[in-house]
Structure 1
Amino acid sequence: MRIGKQGTLSSAIATATADRITVRGYDLSADLIGNVGLTELFYILLTGVRPTEMQRLFIDAALVSVAEHGLVPSVAAARMTLAAAPDAWQGAVAAGLLGCGSVVLGSSETAGRLFSELVSEAADTSSPLAEVVRNRLAAMRETRTPLPGFGHPLHRDEDPRATRLLALADRHGVAGAHVAALREIVTQMPAAYGRTLAVNVSGAIPAVLLDVGFPMKAMKGIPLLARTASLVAHLLEEAANPIGFAMAHAGEAVISYQDASSQPTDAT
């Protein structure tokens, strides 16, 4: 019994024989090893072609910008997992990545989808971008839909990572329709929400990358790939200087126990 949509029974990414490994049509040993970096290989794997210099630069910049941010939830999960299972590095990395969702790290995909929809709607309807953004923000406010890519609990006035990425886009002349959509949201935010939220790194990443031609459907891969590198570093440090159990203890210390009998009951 077949379940789900079936594609052609083939893959265009890689194959191997006894004397050759082929990756997207390139000979891995002769063409890629020693000739491309991981960022270039990542793009080749995604698209089958080598990135332009601008694409490489901005994918690199995006990866660097979101790789590390201290003892955040994904890092805490990974370090506490390694503390409990010192031989399970793969499990500890997986534990950290499993928490990359719509609130932490994964919002770059949601923001990118929003920018892409705004740009497409403006083009398809021949409507001014300002009008399209105004209508979308009003609808989101009416339905209380979260606005992805804006606001940060620590960087309230400015996320320096976002500022840097957008400045690089301006400097290199690649800021296009998606950066324009982001900036139009910033312009209209006070009227729509009564306040201004800072553009965060998860808003800047998709705006810039979409403008250099990065595939929208792979946007979540940017924070996943970047944070993997950071998690490996944290696990190496955890192995040498364990703090995982201390983090778990600190978390338990600030949470008070509340007896079930004192909990409100659901009258329904």
Structure 2
Amino acid sequence: MSDVADWWRTEIIDMKPGAIRVRGQPIEELIGHVTFPQMIWLMLRGELPAPGAARLLEAALVAAVDHGPQAPSIAVARMAVTCGLPLNGAMASAVNMLDDVHGGAGEQAVELYGLIDAAGGPDAAGDCVDRWTAERSAFVPGFGHRFHKPVDPRAPRLLALVEVAVEEGVCSGVFADIGRAVEAALLARKGKPVPMNIDGATAVIFAELGFPPPLARGLFCLSRSVGILSHAFEQMHQGGRNKGPTPPAYRWTYDGPNPIETKEAD
């Protein structure tokens, strides 16, 4: 049976009838004793985090839960339930929207911070930003916000918690310094402030806690799933049927051949 038993190999969970061990720890000893952020850490890292690290991870998860029904992922969840999907279908549809453009900035910011760290730290921020915009994208991930101006209110609070964690010895503060150095580099280039946003701030936390870039997106998906679930469930109670992205009275712009003539109301 070894060829069958070895089809899947994992260090995450072991089971037999009447027994479940997660990362070697009996599930009944975890239930009621660890928080959900601690459990996430245990699953991903194989060990329980220090209390301060768990609090910092929890703060990042809390900060990113929702950004309103105009966010594409939330809008998709609400539209999905009006089309008859159950909550799990609405959540799956919404999470699938969290890709490189909508949902990927945190992962990209952790990657950028890592490049800066490897290039010498905060002093290398300007050169690395130039390299990023030349080779990857004109958009610097984690900085600036089209809605929250002049400052994304979530970012300063998260950075303040990082400062507390540094004082407590939870993390080094290296990536917080790198994030601030990117802000300074963008100010020098743009001639105006381009403040860190939620993605840049949570990326600081994920990098400080040692999470690699792909997990930054995965953790964001976990966080935003709470908002997705809330909006989908609310829409179920509000009702509605086959709701699209705009009210029916609004029409799209047609710029093809032979447009239909419309008569404006008197």
Quick check: TM above 0.5?
yes
- Identify the match of residue 203 of structure 1 among 200, 205, 214: 200
Higher alpha-carbon deviation: 251-260 or 76-85: 251-260
The 2-side partners of 1:58 and 1:246 are apart by: 38
Say which of 186, 192, 206 aligns to 1:189: 186
For 1:148, the equivalent position in structure 2 comes to: 141
C-alpha distance in 2 between matches for 1:92 and 1:166:
33
Which of 103, 106, 121 is 1:105 aligned to?
A: 103
Q: Deviations over 1:147-173 (max 9, x none)?
A: 000111111210110111001111332
Using the size of structure 1 for normalisation, the TM-score is 0.84
Q: CA deviation at 1:192?
A: 2.4
Q: How does 1:92-241 map to 2 (within 5 A)?
A: 92-122=90-120, 129-130=122-123, 132-143=124-135, 145-173=138-166, 174=171, 176-241=173-238
Residue 188 to residue 251, structure 1, CA distance change in 2 (3 Å) = farther
- Aligned residue in 1 for 2:41: 43
* CA positional deviation for 1:183: 0.5
Distance 1:169 1:254, change over 3 A: farther
Once the two structures are TM-superposed, the CA of residue 187 in structure 1 deviates from its matched residue by 1.2
Amino acid of the structure 2 residue aligned with 1:76: A
Residue of structure 2 equivalent to 1:4: none
Give the structure 1 partner of residue 262 of structure 2. none
Letter of the structure 2 residue corresponding to residue 180 of structure 1: D
The whole-number CA distance in structure 2 between the counterparts of 1:162 and 1:115 is 16
RMSD of equivalent CA atoms: 2.3
Identity, % of aligned positions: 25
The number of aligned residues is 248
Q: Is the 8 A contact 1:190 1:196 kept in 2?
A: yes
**Residues 203-243 of structure 1: per-residue CA shift (max 9 Å, x gap):** 00011222133344311112100111121111221111125
Corresponding residue of 1:125? none
Q: Which amino acid aligns with 1:120?
A: A
Give the structure-2-normalised TM-score: 0.85
Q: 1:138 to 1:247 in 2, by over 3 A?
A: same
Alignment match, 2:82? 83
Tell me the distance in 1 between the aligned counterparts of 2:122 and 2:107: 21
Distance (Å, rounded) in 2 between the aligned partners of 1:8 and 1:49: 25
Structure 1 residue runs of 5 or longer lacking an equivalent are 1-6, 123-127, 263-268
Contact 2:14 2:24 in 1 (8 A): no
Partner of 1:21: 20
Correspondences of 1:46-57 after superposition (within 5 Å): 46-57=44-55
User: SS of 2:196's equivalent?
Assistant: coil
The answer to whether the 8 Å contact 1:108/1:220 transfers is: yes
Partner of 2:128: helix, strand, or coil?
helix
Q: Deviations over 1:76-108 (max 9, x none)?
A: 10111111124x322110111111122222210
The list of structure 1 runs, each at least 4 consecutive aligned residues, that deviate by more than 3 angstroms after superposition, is 140-145, 214-217, 243-249
Equivalent residues of 1:55, 1:213 under 8 A apart: no
Aligned-partner Cα distance in 1 for 2:248–2:177: 42
Distance 1:260 1:43, change over 3 A: farther
Once residues 132 and 225 of structure 2 are traced to their aligned partners in structure 1, the CA distance between those partners, rounded to angstroms, is 33
Distance 2:163 2:52 in 1: 12
